[in-house]
Amino acid sequence: MAKRIDELEGVTSIEIHIGNSDILANVVYKDGKKLLSLVATIKNLEVVERIVWSEMVYQSPHKNLEVKLDM
């Protein structure tokens, strides 16, 4: 399902999650009509039960952010 959603126009990235959301898609759109069309397309996919969405209005850049992985 993630691959199908990732192929839709406007989808810039797709993530598979464990927890409250199974799939998270990041999208860009020209106007509200394009967004509503994309949401309707995804809602009509056979295994989609519900869609929850939010809109990012600002992203704060992090300076000197270092991620360390212990393996």
- Domain residue limits, the chain: 2-43
* Residue 71: per-residue pLDDT: 58
Q: What is the 3-state secondary structure (H, E, C) of 17-46?
A: CCCCCCEEEEECCCCHHHHHHHHHHHHCCC
Give the list of residues 6+ apart from residue 20 with CB closer than 8 angstroms, or none: none
Tokens of 12: 């810039």
Q: What is the pLDDT of residues 8-33, one digit of tens each?
A: 999 999 999 998 889 999 999 888 89
